[in-house]
Amino acid sequence: MSHNLHIAKIFSQFSPLINDDTNPYESDVVLTLKPWAVLRPKNLSELKEIIKLCALHKIPFTPCGNQTSVTGASVSDQSIVISTEKLKSVSEISKNSEGLASIQVEPGILLSDLQDHVESLGYYYPPDPTSREEVFLGGTIATNATGENSYHYGSTRNYILSLDVIDAQGQFKTIQRQASPLDLSKKKNLAGFHLGEEIDPWIGSEGTLGIICSAKLLLLPKPNPFQSFLLFFPNEPDALNFSNSIHNFREKLSLRCLEYMDIQATEYMRLKSKRLIIPKDVYTIYLKIEETSSIDQDSILELLYNEYNAILPDDDSLFDQALFAQDHSELLEFRRVRHHVPATINELATINKSMGGGKVSSDWWVPNDKIIEMFTFLRELQANIDCKCAIFGHIGNGHPHVNMIATNQTLKDQSLEFTKQCIQKAVSLGGGACGEHGLGKIKTWALALQWSNQDIDQMKQVKQFWDPCNLSSPGNIFS
């Protein structure tokens, strides 16, 4: 009997997928691996039984959501894959004695469906990665995802009140957060486990401790309407200087999002936009401002113009071409155009795979006051590599996404070395190796760039506690 048939027999009551039936579960954005089998539990009881069988027979397993990972974390050729796609139940919204609202949700719901649901009831769940319409909630917890509004609201960790988990030994446990999660708002993501409360290593664990089967989420009151701005600049230093300048007005402006698109990323927006007139050969700062009584519309425009003019005193022609969105359809168009940046990068990466190339990306972060120094460093390195580079993302958090789009294996190898040097530089400036994507299988080498051997040993002890037989997501985080 073949190995896969043996696995299929063990899990026969759950109708496992084997052979060609596993094809839809073999690829994420960057990696293709064929699992031994795919299990798709219909409810919590089935999920518990599957993990117990894995523990009994020492069968490794890898949880997966909607295959949106960009590090190979959700695919495997060393385990079965357990898909959460059928686990989508959502509870009623409840309030505790202090008036905090929460909702209990299973991991297989699309993030956008969850957010639309709670907003229809007057509440708000802030984490909003670009892939919100494709990513499952469980995937956002497994990577501690951020998003364009993380500049103000912080990462997923800030909104997890408790987790129902099944560890790799098949034990079910509810883990409550003791402190208020909003107290974590200034904590940055780092590679590997966050060693805070008992719940913290699970958030960002990339499936390495077991499987998350439900989460109690903190909800905020639905915010006031937003206004969005796209401001254009003739060069990168001016755009970055404006970003640093406007960062000083984040409270006065009720600034919720501060993002950057370099010349290549802006070009991807321009080419894909049918409704917005985006200039050619420019750099972009993307702002989102919540409407409040603290500052009126004319004052916002005046402040933006004054800061722009202080950086470009002799040329405000591009300021006159700035784009402003206020109603719902316009705001959605801004988000859609912004989403075209990573979508285009991933399309090009897929095309280049056949030639030995592909995307080599990083999501390091640095303190805000180090962002210009970091960009000077990376641009000097990048000039020696003959492939496209597109940078976009959360510049207000010191956390841009740097994407090298290599067309062959040689350029891919050069891009990987470039990425390692950038991560080393970011860490030396007081930053981190990854802001939200995690390490998965393709960046395990970055763990040692961030942490000492002693720190990594502490993480391995946490792994050993929850997963003593090393069954959960083999190859993720730890090489």
List the domain range (segments joined by +) for residue 182.
94-221
Residue 185, pLDDT score: 55
pLDDT of residue 186: 55
pLDDT digits 0-9 by tens, 293-352: 778 888 899 999 999 999 999 888 999 999 998 788 888 888 888 888 988 998 888 888
Do 215 and 258 belong to one domain? Answer: no
Q: Are residues 287 and 152 in the same domain?
A: no
What is the number of alpha carbons within 13 Å of residue 135 lying toward its C-beta? 25
Residues 76 and 113 in one domain: no
Q: Are residues 200 and 330 in the same domain?
A: no
Section 413-433 average pLDDT: 94
Who wins on pLDDT, 5 or 433? 433
pLDDT over 90 at 8, yes or no = no
401, 35 Cβ separation under 8 angstroms = no
196 and 288 both lie in a single domain: no
CA–CA dist 309, 411 (Å, integer): 40
Report whether pLDDT(190) > 80: no
User: 55 and 99 in one domain?
Assistant: no
> How many domains does one find in the chain?
3
% of residues, the chain, pLDDT over 90: 70
CATH code at 75?
Answer: 3.30.43.10
How far is residue 299's CA from residue 318's CA, in Å, rounded to a whole number? 20
pLDDT digits over 58-81, tens only? 999 999 999 888 889 999 999 999
How confident is the model over 243-263, as a mean pLDDT?
A: 93
221, 252, 283: which is the final residue of a domain?
A: 221
For 297, other C-beta atoms within 10 Å of its C-beta total 12
Say how far apart CA 391 and CA 351 lie, in whole Å: 19
For residue 4, what pLDDT band results from cuts at 50, 70 and 90?
Answer: confident
Residues 295 and 415 in one domain: yes
To the nearest 10°, report the CA torsion of 215, 95, 199, 91.
-10
For the domain that residue 146 is a member of, what is the CATH number? 3.30.465.10
**Same-domain check for residues 192 and 211:** yes
The answer to whether the CB of 208 falls within 8 A of the CB of 478 is yes
* pLDDT greater at residue 248 or residue 96: 248
Q: What is the pTM of this model?
A: 0.89
Per-residue pLDDT tens for 125-134? Answer: 999 888 888 8
Question: Looking at the predicted structure, is the pLDDT value of residue 1 above 50?
Answer: no
pLDDT of residue 469: 96
